[in-house]
Amino acid sequence: MDDVERAFREAHGPAVATLTRLFGDLGLAEDAVQDAFVTAVDRWPRDGVPDNPAGWIVRTARNRAVDVVRRDRRGRELTEKLASDPLRAGSPADEQTSEPLRDDQLRLVFTCCHPALRVEHQVALTLRLVAGLSPAEVASAFLVSEETMAKRLVRAKYKIKAARIPYRVPDDTELPGRLRAVLTVLYLVYNAGADVGARGELRAEAIRLTRLLVTLMPDEPEVAGLLALMLLNEARRPAHGEADVVLLKDQDRSLWDRVLIVEGQELVLGALRRRRPGPYQLQAAIQALHCAARRYEDTDWASIVRFYDRLISVMPTPVVALNRAVAVAETDGPGDGLLLLDELAGELGGYHPWHAARGSMLKRLGRRPEAAAAYARAAELARTEPTARFLRAQSERLERDAEG
């Protein structure tokens, strides 16, 4: 990404946010910012990138939007309102750090992630408007055609406008639920980027947006918890291997990014001190404990199980129960782990990690033919070929050992 592109991406969210507040129209704001970018593409390479690209974009887009609205009957009214806008008097440097701008960005995030929009539309809008990805980039990130993504964005923006989805940060009573929706969108974006190597840029965007949210909502520990969770996962990616199948146990821990780990661990500790634990903080705490172990054998499984006990009380999903069973196998032995796993057969029978976990425990219990069968079933259910190949190899090795 070159300087201009990076500047665009960083300026997009703040600019659309400010323009939406001033003009009360998301579509107009987006078009005006787009026009400002077109002007910038023409001028910046010639005159150089301005000191405050975001401020420049906001000013240019605002002038553009004023021109547009002057042409219709609401023009006069709006122009008067703008004249009294405090932002207008401020210097460009003030604009970027001023309180109204921070609030605008939060409003934009909450509008894009409003629960009245379907989740895939929330994700698309957030990437387009807040993260500033082009419609083509958003489309390729989710492996849909540009046309499909364009339709999705148009529909979502139509609903915001027609149904008057408010441009506002929810009040205290609504905030917990609404914030959860925002965090879900950000984590979906991160995980979409974790699936396939080619979409790695989505992880960077998710981290950038979550960092932004941490600065906008410093008193919400779940936001810090989500950022920590992403950073701790990100830190270990270099050790995942090309095919993304190297188990935690076998990873070369010298490849882990210590800087990200330290930042993630500090975020978790700071968040947990607020004594309002939630799913993201607890998941991050578990990952922080994994990251704290210099060798796999040094892992503090007892503490990890304790955090899983707390996690399952606030997030009682079968996948959390599966991960807890894996941790229990380390403290109480594979027999206990297997018993817990088998309780989940009904819910997770179609989920390849469940079969793989069973395979691992059966193998440790010396039940090799059963272990081989479990790995084979996991391989059949795996979503990607490298994972399937890895699991098939496990199964075949066990079969050979059983014969020999």
Partner 1 sequence: MNQYMLSVYEAEGAVAGAPATPEAMQAFLGRVIALEEEMDRAGAFVFGGALHGPDAATVVRGGTGLDKVTTDGPFVEAKEHIGGFYVIEADDLDAALAWAEKVVEATNHDIEVRPFRATGRVQAATD
Is the CB of 169 or the CB of 230 nearer to partner 1?
Answer: 169
Neighbours of 154 (CB within 10 A): 12
Closest distance to partner 1 from the beta carbon of 350 (Å): 29
Residues 6+ apart with CB under 8 A from 40: 4, 8, 53, 56, 57, 60
Which residues contact partner 1 by CB under 8 A? 114, 116, 162-166, 168, 170, 174
Closest distance to partner 1 from the beta carbon of 15 (Å): 23
Closest distance to partner 1 from the beta carbon of 279 (Å): 25
Is the CB of 123 or the CB of 165 nearer to partner 1?
Answer: 165
Nearest partner of 385 among 244, 233, 238, judged by Cα: 244
Q: Please answer whether residues 6 and 52 qualify as being in contact, where contact means their C-beta atoms are separated by less than 8 angstroms.
A: no
Is the CB of 123 or the CB of 160 nearer to partner 1?
Answer: 160
Is the CB of 117 or the CB of 341 nearer to partner 1?
Answer: 117
Is the CB of 129 or the CB of 289 nearer to partner 1?
Answer: 129
- Separation of alpha carbons 175 and 178, rounded Å: 5
Is the CB of 163 or the CB of 314 nearer to partner 1?
Answer: 163
- Residue 123: strand, helix, or coil: helix
Closest distance to partner 1 from the beta carbon of 25 (Å): 14
Q: Where are the alpha helices (DSSP H) in 24-162?
A: 26-47, 53-70, 75-83, 86-89, 92-97, 99-112, 119-125, 135-141, 146-162
Phi, psi values for residue 49, rounded to 5° = -70, 130
Closest distance to partner 1 from the beta carbon of 165 (Å): 5
Is the CB of 114 or the CB of 121 nearer to partner 1?
Answer: 114
- Separation of alpha carbons 181 and 187, rounded Å: 10
Is the CB of 14 or the CB of 170 nearer to partner 1?
Answer: 170
In this structure, the chain runs to a length of: 404
Closest distance to partner 1 from the beta carbon of 174 (Å): 8
Q: Could you identify the residue written with the tokens 């709006």?
A: 78
Nearest partner of 62 among 48, 45, 46, 83, judged by Cα: 83
Rounded to 5°, the CA angle 132-144-180 comes to 55
Closest distance to partner 1 from the beta carbon of 168 (Å): 8
The token duo for 126 is: 């957030």
- Separation of alpha carbons 117 and 61, rounded Å: 27
- Separation of alpha carbons 14 and 36, rounded Å: 13
Closest distance to partner 1 from the beta carbon of 28 (Å): 17
